[in-house]
Chain A
C-alpha cells in the first residue's frame, strides 16, 4: 500500500521548497497552512500524473483540500 500522505507531502515540498511541511494538520485545509494557490494545486495534480500516473480530473481538485481528503480520495487510485 502506497503511503499517499507522504507522496503528497513530497510533491508539496518539491513545488514549494520554502514551505515547512513537517507539522501539518491533516484535517485543516492545506491552503490555510501553506502558501499554496490554484497554480500550485495544478502542479500537485501534474506531478501526481507525471510521477505516479494518477489522474485527477479538474472537477475533483476540491478533493485535494486537506491531507486527510487527499488520502481518502487518492488511495483507491494507488491501489
Chain B
C-alpha cells in the first residue's frame, strides 16, 4: 500500500470524522495521525462491487414483495428474532465503532474497553423495560407508542422532531466519516464516496423498504463479525491463544508501557462519566432506527429474542475489537519479521519506542493495518469493503427511520389526521427518502472539513433526553398527560442541544472559545433528569378534561402492553 497524494484538509477534523464515535476531548492523541488519500485499492473496490451487486439483487427481490405500508415500514412483520438480532447488531456496529474503538485501544489500551462497555449496557435495559411493550403497542414507529393514548398532533410532532434530529446528526457523522474513510481505504475522492453512499442508500430504501434494509444489515453484520473473528483468531494464534502473552508483548511494544493495562484519562471525573454512561444507556433505548426494528418481528416473544441475540453479537464484537486493538499495537508498533515497521510513517530511532501517532493514515486505520498484517492484501481488501458496506447499511437504516417519522407521524397522523391512504403514505415516505438522501449528500459535502465527532454524541443525548423519557413514561406512568409529555420532552430536547453547544465539545473545540460555559462534555445527566422532571411536573398539574380522559385510558393501554391483546400481527404472504 503506497501513500500517494497528501490530503490537504485539516488533519484533526478528518481523522476525528472517521472515528466519529470517539469524543475528541478524551482522545487527543488518537486524532493526531496524518490523513492521506491512499492509492486506488482494486481488491477492495472489486469486493465492494460484489457486495453492492448482491445487495441490489436483494433489493430487487425485496421490492417485489413490498406492497403494503406494513411491508415498507416493518418488512411485513415476518423477520425472525435471530435475523432481527443480527440486523440490530448491524445497525449498532458502525464502521466508526469498529475502527474508532480499535483505534482507541491501539492508542490507550484499557480505556477502549471502558468505552465499549458503555455502548453495550443499554441493551439489557431495552429488553427489560422497552422491547416487548413497544412491540405490543406499536405499528411502525416509536411515536405510535408514545402517542398511544394522547393527542396525536403534539406528541407525534415532538417525536418526529426528536427522531429527525437524532437521525440527522447521526447521518452527518456517518456521511463525513464515510467520505474520509473511503478516501483512505479505496483512494476515491471524498465527494465521489459521499455521492455513492447517498445514491445507494436511496436505492435500497425507496425500492426495497425495510425488507431490503434489514437484509443488507444482516449480510453486513455477518461479514463484519466473521472478518473481526478471523482477525482476533489470527492475533491470538500468534501467542498460542494466551492473552497474557499477547498483553506482555503489547506492553513491551507500546510507548505507554504498563499504563495500557489500567484505566487512563478516559474517565476523569465521576459526573462526566455518569453523564456519558446515562446518555449511552438511555440513548440506545431512544434511537428511532433501532426501535423501529421491533416492529419487524411477529410478536413480543421474537422481540425479546432479538435483543438477546443482538446483545450477544454486540458484546462479542466489542471483545473482538479489544483483541484487535491489542493486535494493532503489536503489528504497528513492534517490528515485523524483517525488523521493519511497514505501517509507520517513520521507524523509531534505535533503542527508542515507536510513536503512536506515526501510524499511516491516522489512528483510525489501526484495525485496517492489522487486517493487512494478519491476512495479506486480499483480506485487507475484504475488511476495507466491509467498512464501506457497514456505512452503507447504517445510513440506509437511519434514512428509513427519518422517512417514517415524516410520512407516518407527520404526514399521515398530523397533516392528514389519519385520513391518508396507504399508497399516499408510502409515496410520501419514498419522496422523503430521496430528499433525505440528497440532503445527506449535501450536508456530507458541506461538513467535509468540520469536526463532526460530537454529532453521534449529540444524537445519543437527544435520543436519551427527548425520545426515551416520553416513551418510557407513556408505557409505565398512568398519570402522564399530553401537556406533561410535550413540555417535558421538549425541555429534554432543547436542554440537550443547548447544554451540548455550551459545553467543551462545541463551545471550545468547534467554536474556538477559550472556556466552555457549561463544564461537562456530555449533558446527559442534566437533560435526562430535566426531561423526566418536566414530564412529572407538567402532568400532575394538568387537570383538564383531556388529561382525565388520558389517565383513564391508561388501563386499556396497559392490558395491551402486557398481554399483546389486539397487537399488530405479521402480515400474511
To the question of whether A and B form a pair in one complex, the answer is no
